[in-house]
Structure 1
Amino acid sequence: MASSVTERNARTGKKRTIRNVAGTAVLAAFSMGFVWGVGGAIAQNYSFNSVAVEGNKRIETGTILTYAGIARGETVSAGDINEAYQRILASGLFESVEIVPQGGKLVIKVTEFPTINQISFEGNERLKDNELSSFIKLKPRLVFSPTQAERDAVTLTEAYAENGRLAARITPKIIRRSDNRVDLVFEIFEGGNTEVSRIGFVGNQVYSDRRLRRVLESKQAGLLRALIRKDTFVEDRLQFDQQVLRDFYVSRGYVDFRTTAVNAELARERDGYFLTFNVEEGQQFAFGEITTISEIEDVDSEVYQDTIKLRAGETYSPSLVENAIARMERLAIRNGQPFLRVEPRITRNDRDLTLDVEFVLSKGERIFVERIDIEGNATTLDRVVRRQFRVAEGDPFNPREIRESAERIRALGFFGDAQVNAREGSTPNTVIVDVDVAEKPTGSLNFGGTYSTDNGFGLVAQYTETNFLGRGQTVRFRASGATDNTNYGLYFEEPAFLGRDVKFFFDIGILESESANANYNTSKGIFATGLEFPLGERARLGVNYKLDATKMSVSSTSTIGSVLTNEVGLGRLKNSSVGYSYEWDSRKTSLDNDEGLRFLISQDFGGLGGDDSFVKSKAKLIAQRRFFNDEITLRATLAGGAVSFSGAGSRATDRWLFDEDIMRGFAADGIGPRELNGSTVNDALGGNYFATAKFEALFPLGLPEEYGITGGVFYDIGNVWGLDKISSVPADTFYESGSFRHVAGVSIFWETPIGPMRLNWSKALKKEDHDIDQNFEFTISTEF
């Protein structure tokens, strides 16, 4: 209502209510009708010789007369005059309207609404001015409308409610200026956040409240309530929470799961909500009999049955069924049957809690893709979006492939929203695929800090653009410096080299380091480039070329042994190599990215123009599984590496030097072959071989999960050994073979507001005398 808009006096600050003036006096038309009616001698219909308009400046007189609808000499009634008044007022152009008869003349007096000089916001902190401006419809230089101002105030209030400020109040006020102008001010009382004080569940038996709370987007308010915005109550988020809760259960075989109700109870102080999800879990189902039948004469169902990776007794999941269908349809395309469709028919066996799945092969409609239309991409090139489709114009239309393409487009991270829909084309057997995207910023400039007990404090600056020039390319420049290390690098990646699913990259870097447990320094320049491409659903293969130039040096105040003296004396040496890397990851088709197996192997072959020939190999196997209803995570890592040189032999910078990736519980370069010169020098030489086995268990500590604090225990076994062509000086070296070290420890993990923190307390159960163990390790990093 316009009557709720107040005016603020610019000089005195006094406030008074602004009203749409219906008239400064009773309408003359009604007055005359009343008088004439009493006299009984004057007719109710009358006419004016002229109609005049006063007070208008911006609005044309003819426009106002058109609204009035009263012509000179026209016979009108009192009701007609009232309707004329209502029409002029309803136009929304005038602050006040009067219709005054003066004998045979009808005068229409109007006061136009002022124009808006500027719009400002007062009292806002949570939402900035530019955010608030985007919500309202009134803009500078537009005509001020009290009604629209009130509507804009309601819109702003709703915006605050979506950010958890349910107590926010918005009051629009005006300041009169000259030339019939006003400044519009929205006075804002934001109020406090309405938090989610507690999230509870009723009806859950299999999974605990703690585990289910981790699934939800909404979080409970805790000690970090000032920094964690997901603990703010947002009503629209509840719908998403219910969906992810159902996805969580169904993906684990609970196909009958449903949320019967969500109760949101507001606290008496109106500063927090108590959320309760009422759920019915149902029974867990597994896959029963898996079969394939064909309704097409020339299609052998056994061929397609062989592509199915499902096993009887395996926990049922719709995504596993979808993956099986996708493999069958891809096989059909390779076999020249692009219109083959796969329909899963599921039979429920309540007695043994299994679901039989029968895949039916049938002929689909012969529909083709007419074209793919892409809109909304002002920066991103069309080809970046188009290459996410496995189909092109003229190819058979496959709804499943279109859905998968939409997911790939969203996964790019270039768009805030991406909608992919199919509609009928120019003929009944064609479709047009419409892609509507909304771009978002893809560049970031991060400054950060790190701290570790190994390297001390460090600063990090990184610029990253993941959609460089709209081509989908990644460019990253990084500069970091710590107490003992500085690192500068430039990285470039083209994810679709020559328009294919092949990643091309190059990496250039400079590393300067002062080893924490050695008396020599290193400087290294690195260049690497290569290609990576998929070998299947789970495997990728990469080929690469690397060139590095490394120099070892010693300060005038340091003393080193004879082995390192010889290696420093070689000056700057170059290594030039070609190599490959192979990765197999079962998580790519898993329900949970935290479960599965990952295997990596790489080899580099040196001797292409460098100063020496060598073969460097490394392999790693990681297995992770969750137990006790996902409460405890067990992880095992097996890793090993070997390097062999010919010619001049290896240096310490070429061999495996110990770090935390190899084993915990020891300082940097704290184990492995060492060189002793007198009683003061104890330098790590590195080894030609390393092998480690790391076992870890992660679990909650009983603290509220919104604090982000969890615990862990670990047990590591490892060794670094083997030297190359330096056995002629055995007096200076020891632990060339050495023994396997054993370490046990506990960990605390904390996802702090400034970055992830890890604290390790460890005890070396078996070590050598000159090893440098580390009983406590603390790391934290952040970007801002």
Structure 2
Amino acid sequence: MAGSRFLNTVSGAALSLAVAVSGGVVTAIALPQSAEAATVSNIVVNGAGATGADAIKSKLSIVPGRSFTDADINQSIRTLYGSGYFSDVKISVQGSTLIVNVTENQLINQVVFNGNRKVNDKKLQGVVQLHSLGPYSQAQAELDAQRIKDAYSQIGRSDVEVTIDTATVQDNRINVAFVIDEGGRTKTKHINFVGNNTYGASRLAAVIDTKRSTPLSFLTRKDIYNPDQVRHDGDLLREFYNNHGFPDFRLLSTDVQYDDVDNSYSITFTMDEGARYRFSDIGVDTTITGMNVDNLKGDIDTKSGKYYDADNIQKTSEAIAASASSQGYPFAQVNPRLDRDFSTDTVAVNYQVDQGVKAYIERIEIVGNTRTRDYVIRREFDLAEGDAYNRELIARTKRRLEALGYFSSVDIRTQPGSAPDRVVLVVDVTDEPTGSFSIGAGYDAEGDSLVLELSVEERNFLGRGQYVRASAGLGDDDSQIYNFSFTEPFFLGYRLAAGFDLYRATSSTQTYYSYAETAGTLRVTAPLTDDLASTFKYNYQQFEYTGEGNWEDPNNLSPIYQNLVNGSPWTVSSLEQTFSYSTVDDRKMPREGTLAQLSNTIAGLGGDSHYYKIAGKARWYQMLSDQADIVGSLTVRGGYVAPFDDNLNVFDQFTIGGQEIRGFKQNGIGPRTVEQGDALGGQTYAVVSAEANFPVPFIPEDIALRGAAYVDAGSLWGNQVDVDNTAIEGTDFSLRASAGVGLIWNSPFGDLRFDYAIPFVKEDFDETQRFRFGIANTF
């Protein structure tokens, strides 16, 4: 019974007095002498109304013919108040009759919301507790009004006002209206950092989730002030510093100032970075008899001379714990022991492996997930009910769940089980939106044209953890591109990501022929380590070339491309295996780490192509300036294709251009016919690129606009296409190089990039293109 309390019973000579206090009204009830249990033969209910006398009697702990005491009276009053249907309850005894007098709360006819435009009725109905046919309570209505305010605060409207209007209708029913004045959008006007000597404000602004308000903030909504988010931002700063050499980092204060003039907040993070440490001696030891320590040393990823990294220590601890478990020590607990040398700013780490508490997992409970299925969460565990409790393996599960991108928060805690050696794991998650609709830009390499793209993506389809993406693009000269992808991350219950891709592209940008490609891929990816994965693919492609123009003029098209049109359609059936390696800190905007791929392809399972192809690429990222947030990268690419028979088709060879060496057209480099200038592609290519990117000065972080300066160099050479006595050029190695600048925009419509490059080493027959606009990517 909200807002009520019960006082002790006072006994007299003939009567005891029970006193109930509810809503400021004191009700005295005369009861029989409590020294002896009493009985009644009849119960009379007054004021029952819509509730019904029988329903009220069913909630009493007093039954005619059975003895009762003061405690039963008080319990009955509490139960009736607790139902929420009564504003007043009185119980008295007259002779052998128990008299229950109640005053009913009004029942709600309907609950409506007025004035809400930014939050729809459906969401607000899920927020409030009052509902149709339920009892009306003023206290509950005020709580619901506060819940509505909280919902508006989540979208940056903290100054929302909510009033409650009621209107009585027939049969003691009431309409409830929440009248909402949504107010203006609360913005984050300033974000300041104090005490940051190593990292500049722009670098730290990229670490936290809250962003300054900009003209585009209405799309991202990252400028919304949310106290919980600001507290999380403090954790992100602490984690960032701990992973970059600062184990003593302290967030001294987070000061928030509200400006009621323009309805905005200013946030100031004041910190003490502490000294920056590097790792020195690294070792592993154990107190467990019989454990092979030498086998555990291979799991150490911590490197002497590198900056202190708390995440690296945690991952190494997890790997050692997993190895110890495989040796037959499932309860092993890894405790990193740190020994600091303040004179050299170094820290030695010794991974101490001890026998942990022998406890077993009795049950794993999943709570908080309103959309994601339980099994999607459970399959990330390396442990199950009945297994030995292992702290490090549970920490690994938490990291995996966070990495899925399905949840805004993940917490795993333990509770005592049914026995001293049993524990219950409670996994508390909060689902976040995983679907997106975007307008982006792409590039049709075959047609050398810009393609505007609409795409729909869902990373947690139907809460099953499946990935689905569909896109459609339209480019110059009626070029069209369609894609559909589906991935099941746990195929057949194993940690295998299996899926398929469908692709269709058409282009009419060529002068003398139209081009179309239809392709399908089946793939499966197996993780080999946390950083390394292997993918197997089966690819099927069909190429169609349709002739246009005056075919009687031999200058229209080379015999090579005439053969493509005459032999159309062409098919390629191939098997491909790819190793993928990644240690980057952020896939969308890497600042440190390595990305690498190596692919081997064999074509010849039917179709018109028979070859072996190897291709690889690697990119290294390194911070050039922590203070200015300047990121350097070095990229190498290369490939070679060899036919199983005498010749390759034109579409079997490599084609490179503006995507690899900026400043050139796609297919603008490499072997081509002398008379017509038709590109043939090449048998071998190699490219090296060096780039530095940096935040554009005076542009807010939420705009996500960065500049770039780069140099590209490489070549495409060799030819195995049957040229049928046609004169060709560019088959020998010849260096091309360019330099340029670019803008990279992580826009709400997709990751876009604008480049302007000037080739300064080229051949006369090369085709150049100084300005280029397309999708930005990290590889």
Q: TM-score range by the shorter chain?
A: 0.7 to 0.9
Hey, what does 1:505 align to over in structure 2? 499
SS in structure 2 at match of 1:127: coil
Aligned to 1:721: 717
Q: Report the equivalent of 1:450.
A: 441
Contact 1:157 1:169 in 2 (8 A): yes
8 A Cα contact 1:581 1:600, kept in partner: yes
- Residue 272 of structure 1 deviates from its aligned partner by 1.6
**Residue 580 (structure 1) aligns with:** 577
Q: Is the 8 A contact 1:517 1:668 kept in 2?
A: no
1:433 equivalent in structure 2: 425
Q: CA deviation at 1:65?
A: 13
Do 1:124 and 1:189's aligned partners in 2 also have CA atoms closer than 8 Å?
A: yes
SS at match of 1:331: helix
**Other structure's SS at 1:684 match:** coil
CA distance in 1, matches of 2:521, 2:400: 28
Q: What does the per-residue CA deviation read over 1:177-222, in whole Å, with 9 as the maximum and x for residues that have no partner?
A: 3444333222211111222221112222222222222222221223
* Residues 499, 522 of structure 2: 8 Å contact kept: yes
Structure 2, unaligned stretches of length 5 or more? 1-21, 26-43, 60-78, 91-99
Give the match for residue 377 of structure 2: 385
* Cα shift at 1:151: 2.9
- Is contact 1:538-1:589 (8 Å) kept? no
Q: Structure 1 residues 542-551 or 409-418, which shifts more?
A: 409-418
Match for 2:559 among 558, 562, 565?
562
| AA at the equivalent of 2:655 | L
Q: Which moved more, 1:475-484 or 1:120-129?
A: 475-484
Deviations, residues 673-715 of structure 1 (Å, cap 9, x unaligned) = 22244xxx43222222222111111012212323322111111
Q: Answer yes or no: is the 8 Å Cα contact 1:464–1:477 preserved in 2.
A: no
Partner of 2:737 in structure 1? Answer: 742
Question: Offset at 1:595?
Answer: 1.4
Q: Give the drift of 1:464.
A: 4.3
State the AA in 2 paired with 1:258: R
2:198 matched to which residue of 1? 206
* Contact 1:513–1:523 (Cα < 8 Å) also in 2: yes
Moved more, 652-661 or 185-194: 652-661
Q: CA, structure 1 residues 478+163, in 2 after alignment: closer, same or farther (shift >3 Å)?
A: closer
The answer to whether 1:706 aligns with 2:702 is: yes
Are residues 597 and 423 of structure 1, via their aligned partners in 2, closer, same or farther at CA, if it must alter by over 3 Å? same
Task: Please state how far the C-alpha of 1:641 moved relative to its aligned partner.
Answer: 1.4
SS at match of 1:231: coil
1:266 aligned onto 2:258: yes
**Kept after mapping to 2: 8 A contact 1:612/1:647:** no
Q: In 2, are the aligned partners of 1:549 and 1:573 still within 8 Å (CA)? A: yes
1:532 aligns with 2:521: no
The answer on whether the counterparts of 1:517 and 1:684 sit within 8 Å (CA) in structure 2 is: no
Bigger CA drift: 236-245 or 426-435? 426-435
The separation in 2 between residues aligned to 1:729 and 1:476, in whole angstroms, is: 46
> Hey, what does 1:604 align to over in structure 2?
601
Please tell me whether the aligned partners of residues 517 and 670 of structure 1 are also in contact (alpha carbons under 8 angstroms): no
8 Å CA contact retained: 2:543, 2:569: yes
**Residues 593 and 371 from structure 1, CA distance in 2 versus in 1: closer, same or farther, beyond 3 angstroms?**
farther
Counterparts of residues 253-332 of structure 1 (less than 5 Å): 253-267=245-259, 269=261, 271-332=263-324
| Distance in 1, Cα, partners of 2:80 & 2:585 | 67
Q: What SS does structure 1 have at the residue aligned with 2:564? A: helix
Shift of 1:91: 10
Query: Conserved in 1, the CA contact under 8 Å of 2:372 and 2:460?
Result: no
- 2:652 aligned to 647, 651, 654, which one? 654
- Would the alpha carbon gap of residues 153 and 712 (structure 1) be closer, same or farther in structure 2, given more than 3 Å must change? same
- Would the alpha carbon gap of residues 93 and 517 (structure 1) be closer, same or farther in structure 2, given more than 3 Å must change? closer
Q: Describe the SS at the equivalent of 1:706.
A: helix
**What are structure 1's unaligned runs of at least 5 residues?**
1-19, 24-51, 68-86, 99-107
What residue is the counterpart of 1:751 in the other structure? 746
> Residue 243 of structure 1: SS of its match in structure 2?
helix
Deviation of the 1:346 alpha carbon: 1.6
Give, in whole Å, the separation in 1 of the partners of 2:267 and 2:230. Answer: 9
Over the residues paired in the alignment, what is the CA RMSD in angstroms? 4.0
How many residues are matched? Answer: 705
Residue 633 of structure 1 deviates from its aligned partner by 0.6
Corresponding position of 2:682: 687
State the SS of the aligned residue for 1:327: helix
| Residues 315 and 603 of structure 1: CA distance in aligned 2, closer, same or farther (over 3 Å) | same
CA distance in 1, matches of 2:436, 2:222: 24
**Shift in alpha-carbon separation, 1:450–1:323, aligned structure 2, 3 A:** closer
Task: Note if contact 1:581-1:603 (Cα within 8 Å) is conserved in structure 2.
Answer: yes
Which stretch has the larger CA shift, 409-418 or 537-546?
409-418
Question: Structure 1, residues 277-333: CA drift from partner, whole Å, max 9, x if none?
Answer: 221111111223223333234334444345423233321122222222222222223
Contact 2:149-2:161 at 8 Å conserved across structures: yes
Cα offset, 1:524, TM superposition = 2.7
Aligned to 1:664: 662
1:780 deviation in Å? 6.5
Distance in 1 between the 2:195 and 2:600 partners?
A: 54
Is 1:655–1:686's contact at 8 Å kept on the other side of the alignment?
yes
Give the drift of 1:398. 0.9
- Decide whether aligned partners of structure 1 residues 458 and 274 sit closer, same or farther in structure 2, where only a CA change above 3 A counts: closer
SS at 2:189 equivalent: strand
**The structure with more radius of gyration:** 1
Once structures 1 and 2 are overlaid, which stretch shifts more, 179-188 or 426-435?
A: 426-435
Contact 1:462 1:479 in 2 (8 A): no
The answer (yes or no) to whether the contact 2:709–2:742 under 8 Å persists in 1 is yes
Q: 1:449 to 1:202 in 2, by over 3 A?
A: closer
Q: 2:764 matched to 1:769?
A: yes
Letter in 2 for 1:235: P
CA deviation vs aligned residue, 1:484-526 (integer Å, no higher than 9, x gap)? 5333344333333343323333333333233x45633322332
Which amino acid in 2 is paired with 1:710? R
The 1:115/1:557 distance shift into structure 2, 3 A limit, reads farther
- Of the structure 1 ranges 645-654 and 167-176, higher mean CA displacement relative to structure 2 is found in 645-654
CA–CA separation in structure 2 for the residues paired with 1:90 and 1:494: 48
Counting only pairs closer than 5 Å after superposition, residues 234-249 of structure 1 correspond to structure 2 as 234-249=226-241
Q: Distance in 1 between matches of 2:122 and 2:758?
A: 55
